[in-house]
A and B are shown apart, each in its own frame.
Chain A
Amino acid sequence: MRLIDIARLVFGVLAVVFLIAPLIAILPLAFTSSVFLTYPIPDYSMRWFRELFVADVWRLSIVNSLIVGTGTTILAGVLGTMAALGLRNSGLLLPGLFRTAFLLPMVVPAVVLGVGMQVFFVQIGFANTYAGVICAHTVVAVPFVVVSVSASLAGIDRRVERAALSLGASPFTVFRRVTFPLALPGILSGAVFAFATSLDEVVLTLFVAGPNQRTLARQMFSTIRENISPAIAAAAFLFIVGTLLVALVALLIRRRASQAKQPA
């Protein structure tokens, strides 16, 4: 029995190290003073963060990512939330079909979708525009919103809404004062997922964006490919810290939501 316990411990530690170590190993390199992305680090400096915010290619790509990410979050948030509200309604014919259709963009390989979008966007004059990139990102971001809002709508007690209706509130008021606040955690986490998806999207961007819409992820991709520099590590540092912050916020929202459900 002891041998099994040791084997379990060794396997568990090795597996956790395999999963987490790469993410930790990249962090200190963000502060290297060297131009090489290797250990040991000769000296600590902030030069690569400065590079990120001063060098034109990086600064513009960060601005582009924020523009595209915001556009995607709004578009995917509105479309996805509306669809989730519609899907909840029992009156809809073939709800399973709609649900499957809304999830398909997660399944289709990005390169395949990218080729199709490139061909189609050229035909309709959408190639190399911000609107085109935002629409492309929205296609892959919207499933996350639908899933997340649907989950939080499923947790709402329908009697609360019926009670509001029976007390004379109009359907719109019921939505504004009852359904929306209750679904807000799901909408917010869906929006965060949409933003994160847009931020990390490379392949579709490669196919539909022109040089003026080069996003941070696209810039990172070509930097790794062509001239690897520690600016990558600095960008990765921001991504990882951002991920941890978002996870923390999501945790807090969920905790507050579950506390709100309990009677005071």
Chain B
Amino acid sequence: MSEAAARTRLGALALVAPLVLFLALFFAWPLVSMLKESVSDPVGSRAFPLTAEAAAGWDRQSEPPDALKQAFVEDLRNIDDQQLLGDAVRRLNSAQNGFRTLMGKTVRAAQEQSGPLDLAAIDAKWTDVRFWRAVVDSTNPYTDRNLLAALDYQRDATGKVVALPADASANTAILIRTLWIGAVVTIACALIGLPYAMLAVSLTGWKRQLLLGAVLLPLWTSLLVRTAAWFILLQEKGLINDTLISLGLISGPLPLIFNRLGVVIAMTHVLLPFMVLPIYSVLLAIPKNLMPAAASLGAPPWRAFLRVLLPLSLRGVVSGSLLVFMTAIGYYITPALIGGAQDQMISSVIAFYAIGSANWGMAGALGAILLVATLALYAVYGRLSSDRGGL
């Protein structure tokens, strides 16, 4: 018996294993690579390996010991990869202005002369501890620079975390905008979705089927098609503006596309099914005789609604809201096509860094923030839906 049980267990594992391996390779590993990309800073450690070793004995405040200086000179002599040298100079210059000319001079001197060099004689900047700190900092293969920059922070010369100047970065503003658009879409979905689900439950026959079909058809339709459809409706000469003008309600076209309003309308349409379906399934489970019971105990309809039906349906509203909000903050396609420059959400910024400027460090750091937020919301959602099973 136990042998048979062991065999079925082995069989089950063998069946599950291919998908586990596939997802480990093509789902988990890419996410790990992205996170690694956001904290990795390999240029300095590859360019200056001897400096990295020698830096251990330095306190970062006083004049660096001679061993550190000569290790750095030795590293400069050893670099034969011009690409690597260029990357290292760029990396150093981004941490401390003035490295570009300084490194040019120093590399030339290091290659022309042999033996120990008097760096202070080549350029007085080498007597400035800040430049040595930048060199030593660059040899750390890991950095929190991208993660800090993603939240509009940086490290100052002494290594303390400080806020970036207001004009230097807009990431916090975009994060807040993302959460704000997500919240507005969630509220809009709840305001339409709750009455819609209640109406669907209260109806029977073809009317209920029609309401459910109207939710399911968009859900099954391609996201691109729905976005294209909203593009056609919302554009300046679109159906909505044409209709309103021909009815005489407005004289000129309303600005509906490439702005916040258009994004919210299109996203509400796209995400409404995720609100209606959870509420609908919760409402279906409520016993039919509760409302008549409340009425028989003397509650007027509005009171029975407020005290009985609404609290019971709140669970569905909460799971639906989490689902909508979680999906909304990660949206890319709809804001990219319907929104203007002021309506781009965090996903657009990530895509810009990754595709537009090949800055995978920043893309990874912003991606890490979005990933953590989404997984946290999903964990809450999972907890809520498993609670309902126990109720």
Contacts and interface: CB of A to CB of B under 8 A. Distances in A.
A113 B366 CA distance: 12
Which residue of A100, A104, A109 has the most chain B CB atoms within 10 A of its CB atom?
Answer: A109
A-B pairs, 4 with minimum CB distance: A109-B330, A86-B15, A116-B30, A91-B9
Interface of B: 5, 8-9, 11-20, 22-23, 26-27, 29-34, 37, 192, 195-196, 199, 210-211, 214-215, 217-218, 220-233, 235, 237-239, 242, 269, 272, 326, 329-330, 332-333, 336-337, 347, 350-351, 354-355, 360, 363-364, 367, 370-371, 374-375, 378, 382
Nearest to A221: B224
Interface residues of A, number: 79
Contact of A220 (B31, B228, B374): B228
A119 B30 contact: yes
Interface in A7-54: 8, 11-12, 15-16, 18-23, 25-26, 29, 36-39
Contact of B269 (A22, A93, A102, A135): A22
Given A108-B374, A142-B19, A89 B225 contact: no
A236 B223 CA distance: 10
Contacts of A142: 19, 22-23
A15 B210 CA distance: 11
Contacts of B272: 19
Given A11-B199, A25-B239, A26-B232, 6 more contacts: A86-B17, A109-B374, A112-B31, A199-B222, A224-B224, A240-B225
User: Main SS of chain A's interface residues?
Assistant: helix
B367 A139 contact: no
Nearest to A19: B214
A89 to B, nearest CB: 4
Contacts of B32: 116
Contacts of A136: 26
Interface string A110-122: 1111111111110
A105 B226 CA distance: 23
Contacts, number: 242
A217 interface: yes
A85 interface: yes
Contact of B196 (A15, A110, A235): A15
A138 B9 CA distance: 26
A23 B27 contact: no
B18 A79 contact: yes
A221 B20 contact: no
A105 B12 contact: no
Nearest to B364: A115
A8 B201 CA distance: 13
Given A11-B195, A111-B351, A113-B27, A200 B222 contact: yes
User: Main SS of chain B's interface residues?
Assistant: helix
Contacts of A247: 217, 220
Interface of A: 8, 11-12, 15-16, 18-23, 25-26, 29, 36-39, 79-80, 82-83, 85-87, 89, 91-93, 98, 100-102, 104-105, 107-121, 123, 135-136, 138-139, 142, 146, 196, 199-200, 202-203, 206-207, 217, 220-221, 224-225, 228, 232-233, 235-236, 239-240, 243, 246-247
Contacts of B363: 115
Contacts of A79: 18-19, 22
A25 B363 CA distance: 37
B199 A8 contact: yes
Contacts of B29: 116, 120
A22 B26 contact: no
A218 B17 CA distance: 32
A160 B26 CA distance: 37
Nearest to B202: A8
A19 B31 CA distance: 35
Contacts of B347: 109-111
Contact of B233 (A25, A239, A243): A25
A249 to B, nearest CB: 12
Given A25-B229, A89-B8, A98-B16, A20 B350 contact: no
B232 A37 contact: yes
A217 B224 contact: yes
B354 A115 contact: yes
Given A86-B13, A91-B9, A200-B223, A38 B371 contact: no
B221 A23 contact: yes
A166 to B, nearest CB: 14
Given A16-B210, A22-B230, A239-B225, A111 B367 contact: yes
A83 B238 contact: no
A91 B222 contact: no
A161 B220 CA distance: 34
A83 B16 contact: yes
B227 to A, nearest CB: 7
A19 B19 contact: no
Nearest to B272: A19
Contacts of A221: 224, 333, 337
A23 B225 contact: yes
Contacts of B371: 108-109, 112
A259 B333 CA distance: 41
A58 to B, nearest CB: 14
12 contacts: A15-B192, A15-B196, A82-B15, A85-B15, A89-B12, A112-B330, A112-B371, A113-B27, A114-B351, A138-B22, A217-B222, A221-B337
Contacts of B8: 89, 91
A87 B12 CA distance: 7
A107 B374 contact: yes
Contacts of B326: 107
A206 B233 CA distance: 26
A37 B30 CA distance: 39
